[in-house]
Structure formats: C-alpha cells, structure tokens
Structure 1
C-alpha cells in the first residue's frame, strides 16, 4: 500500500469512533502493477481502475462520516483526475463524465477542509487554548459530513461510478474500427510513458520557476503540479528505473509536505472568520494571525526543496 503525504493524516474524533465501532477502514491507494509488455491503453485501463477502486472502497467509510475515509476518497479522485489529465490528448474523457467528476470533487472538499482545521492546524497553535475552537470546527465538519450523504447516496453518484467503470472496462475511447497500429495508445507503455512523465515534470519546473513564494495561490498551483508529477511517477514506477523513481517520489513528497502545511495555513485563514462571527471572536482572530505568521515563516524555507525538485530528472 502506498502512503499519501499530500497533507497531515491526523485521525479525527470521527475516525477514532469509526474504528472503535467496526466501520470500514480507510482505503489508501493500492500499488499499481504494470507489466513491461503492456501497451499504453492497457496501462490507462489498469491505472484508471486502480483509482476508481480506491474511490469506491472508501464510500462506506464516508457514509459512516469517517474523516480519514473522506480524505482517502479525495486522494483516489485526485489520482484519477491526474491520470485523465495525462491521457487527455490520447483518450479524452466524455464531457458528461468530466462534469460528473468536477461535481463530485466539489462535494467532497468542504468537509475535509474543516477536518484539517480542527485536527491538524488548530492544535499546533500556541499562545491560547484552542479546545473551544477545535470543538466548533469539528461541529462544522460534522455538519458538512452529514450534508454529503444525500449526494453520495444519489442516483447521480451511482450513475457516475457505473459510467466510469464502463468507460474504462469497455475501453470506450477506441474508435469503432479499433486502434490503428500507429495510434499512440497502441504503443508499448515502456515507450509511451516517457513523454507523459516528462510533460508532468516540465510543467512543475515551469511553475517553480515562476513562483513567488509569498503568493498562496501560486504555491497551490505548484503543489497541484507536484502531485501530478508524483502520481505520474507512481503510476509508472514498475516501468521506470527503480532507484531513480524512488528518489524522485521521495523528493517530491518532502516538498509536498511543506506546501501542504502552507496550504492548510492558507485555508485556515479563510475558514477562521466564520468562527470569529459565531461566538469565538477573540480566539479565532488570534488563531488567524498566528496562521498568517506561521505561513510567512514556513514560506521562507521553500527555496531548498524547490531547487532540489527542479534539478530532478526521471525519464
């Protein structure tokens, strides 16, 4: 099983209760297993079904309102969207499926942000007692977890997952006459993966080169590009040089840890005013200032990991 370092995975009260009550455990991403004789469309199908399986495996836990299951469902969705972005020029996703994935991503995001605020960001704040703020943030998270249930139990969600599975299993990107011998999807995966991995890394290097480290939105764009580059390496790791791909993934993961912490602090500054206006004015304002100061301090330590990633070469 692969670890997912995108952001801290602190177990919440909901996760602890879920484990104690015997609810399904959160499902992390299973290792993608590619064979060296595979063609590109074989790899697309294999990786896509791996991502969909992670999304589906976490549904019972999310319906039980488990915070870590929600996190892992979002990871599975991000992995799938990164894969589809990589293959967009080779096997475009039908617009209705793309719209469905955008909808699902939007539904899942809000609750996770409050989970992280309550269980990761606020406990790290010093200078005040944050217990009341954490309780208020957890209550917001619980409300949003409950609000998710109708969407995930809806006919729209069921249809989306059925159609995704059908598209992948039926290789619906194929023309009626089948793939031509010169179609890029008919290429051996060993050859075809190189342009995709290089494209993901070049995009990351461009964003690093243009980055203003004090710009939260720009840092987030680098973080997204780093995730896509890391996912590309993880997807194809069985076909890449073992030593190089391991070092590549580890280096990206370290940078993502830093960027993830900064993103959590930026999100905290957006959410805390809600608590300021609901009976926690002093403590929430203090916490917001603390988050802003911590973000400024952490941003100063980005130079070295960014340079290390920019120097990487994988394929």
Structure 2
C-alpha cells in the first residue's frame, strides 16, 4: 500500500496570541484532516489506514471531551462519532490479532490461526465499506467540519468578553492539561494490575493526557513537554501490548469454535499468561510517572 494513503497526524501549530476558541478550531480541524486523509486507504482495505483513521477519531473525541464544558458538542454529532468509532473497531481488533499477537506466540505453529484471523479481518473490512459510503458518514463529516469551521459553539455571532473561549489559549490550556494529568494520576492510584478493564481505563487516561500535551505543545515549555510526552508514549506502548493480549483472549474462543480447538486453546492460554507476565512491575513504573506533572 502506498504510504501516501496512510498519513499520520500532522503536528498541531498553535500561535501564542490565539484565543481558546482559535485553539479548539485549529486542533479540531487537524484531527479531521487525519481522519479524512486516510479514507482512500481504508476504502482500499489498508490496515494501517484504518489504524490512522481510528487514531484521528480518538484524538478528535479526546479534544471534544476536553472542551466539553466550554463548547458542548450537539448530541447528534456526539452520537455520530460514537457510531463511527464502533463501526471501525472490529476489523482493527482482528488485524492486530492476525498480524501482531498470533505471530509472537511460541510453542505451536500459528499459521492456520493467523490465516483464519486474517479472513475474519478481510470480511470485516469488506463489510465496513458500505458504512463509509453511507449518507450518515458523509453527513457526519460535513456537519463536524461545519461545526468547527463555523464556530457553531457560539451562542451568538460573537463571543462575550467573559466567555472562557475568549481568553488567551496560554491561560485557558492550564486547567485542561492539569485536569488530564489529574485524571491519569487517579487512574494510576485505582489500578488493579491484573484487571484488564482497570488497565483499559488507565490506557484511555494516558492517551488523553498525551493528546492534551501534544495539542498544546507549542504553548508549553519545550523541554518539559517533550519529556512528558516521551514518558506517556512508553506507558502507552506497554498498556497497548496488554490491551492487545486482552483483546486476543476475547477473540480466541471464536477461532477455537471454528475448527481450531487445539491450537486455539493453546493460544488462548498463552495470551492470558503473557498478559500476567507483562503486567508484573507495572505498578512501579506508574508510581514513578504519577510523581511527574506537566503543570503543577
């Protein structure tokens, strides 16, 4: 697949004199650009394009959640983004199982399992195409762009001077970045290392904290934000591997019950054991991260 069909997120470029609503618009359009740029690749059933489209969608939803109290999204648009996220998820889960998780298993030959997983992924990619050709998808993209470009969060043609969105982004970003960090520390404190849902909640909080830092990177102290993003990226990689194993454990019974009972059962037990091993020592890493703050 041509790499031009799998563009990653472009850096967000904010100016120091921007207001908060300028920042919201700039970041939101950046996320939309990533989603839309990967559409041709997804329609060509590129696994990497699907991944990058989902990343763009996650970034957009994280941004909108961050600004929820300042610029509430209309319920119809929120429901549409939830719908699209659900439609894109299943194929990606089988892609990761076939291309990443199963090839790493030792002790058995996994080629047959990989082939079965790839076939399920292929069917899901094919079945997803009508979703992206559907009027609902086109309408969602048009309305989301219209909301951002038209600054439709405004209750009137202009912003009142005391509207939080009218304040300088340099000031307004502080509580948003601080809140994301506080949520992450709360999830770290509440974590049960061996509980997949608990790890998943932590992973989401880590992503939102990282996105907050990346969104406002140009307005934050360069050295500190670079180190903060690097630490969160490492954490996300580890939590991502654990999530892949948890997803594999959920999907393996499908393969076990479709002609791969022996190898499927072995692989199922393997991924459960691998998740237990990978989670060892996670608490120590997290406690160290919890002591680091981007904004006090």
TM-score (norm. length: structure 2): 0.98
Aligned counterpart, 2:170: 190
Query: 1:254·1:305 contact (CA, 8 Å) conserved in 2?
Result: no
Task: Identify which range, 59-68 or 303-312, moves more after superposition.
Answer: 303-312
Q: Provide the C-alpha distance between the structure 2 equivalents of 1:177 and 1:56, rounded to a whole number of angstroms.
A: 28
Aligned counterpart, 1:229: 209
Aligned counterpart, 1:106: 86
- Map 1:123-272; keep pairs closer than 5 Å: 123-272=103-252
Aligned counterpart, 2:13: 33
Query: 1:115·1:137 contact (CA, 8 Å) conserved in 2?
Result: yes
Indicate which of 287, 291, 296 corresponds to 2:276: 296
Query: 2:5·2:37 contact (CA, 8 Å) conserved in 1?
Result: no
Structure 1: 5+ residue stretches without partners: 1-17
| Partner-residue secondary structure (3-state), 1:179 | coil
Q: Deviations over 1:171-228 (max 9, x none)?
A: 0000125211011000000000000000001001001101110110000000000000
| Partner-residue secondary structure (3-state), 2:97 | helix
Indicate which of 78, 89, 110 corresponds to 2:69: 89
Query: 1:115·1:141 contact (CA, 8 Å) conserved in 2?
Result: yes
Q: Provide the C-alpha distance between the structure 2 equivalents of 1:300 and 1:54, rounded to a whole number of angstroms.
A: 35
| Partner-residue secondary structure (3-state), 1:37 | coil
Confirm whether residue 66 of structure 1 aligns to residue 46 of structure 2.
yes
What is the total number of aligned residue pairs between the two structures? 295
Query: What is the deviation of 1:303?
Result: 1.9
Query: What is the deviation of 1:47?
Result: 0.1
Q: Provide the C-alpha distance between the structure 1 equivalents of 2:7 and 2:89, rounded to a whole number of angstroms.
A: 18
TM-score (norm. length: structure 1): 0.92
Aligned counterpart, 2:98: 118
Aligned counterpart, 1:11: none
What is the root-mean-square deviation of aligned Cα atoms in Å?
A: 0.9
Q: Provide the C-alpha distance between the structure 2 equivalents of 1:251 and 1:313, rounded to a whole number of angstroms.
A: 11
Q: Provide the C-alpha distance between the structure 1 equivalents of 2:123 and 2:164, rounded to a whole number of angstroms.
A: 47
Q: Provide the C-alpha distance between the structure 1 equivalents of 2:273 and 2:248, rounded to a whole number of angstroms.
A: 12
| Partner-residue secondary structure (3-state), 2:5 | coil
Query: What is the deviation of 1:313?
Result: 1.0
Q: Provide the C-alpha distance between the structure 1 equivalents of 2:30 and 2:276, rounded to a whole number of angstroms.
A: 38
| Partner-residue secondary structure (3-state), 2:120 | helix
Confirm whether residue 77 of structure 1 aligns to residue 57 of structure 2.
yes
Query: 1:251·1:308 contact (CA, 8 Å) conserved in 2?
Result: no
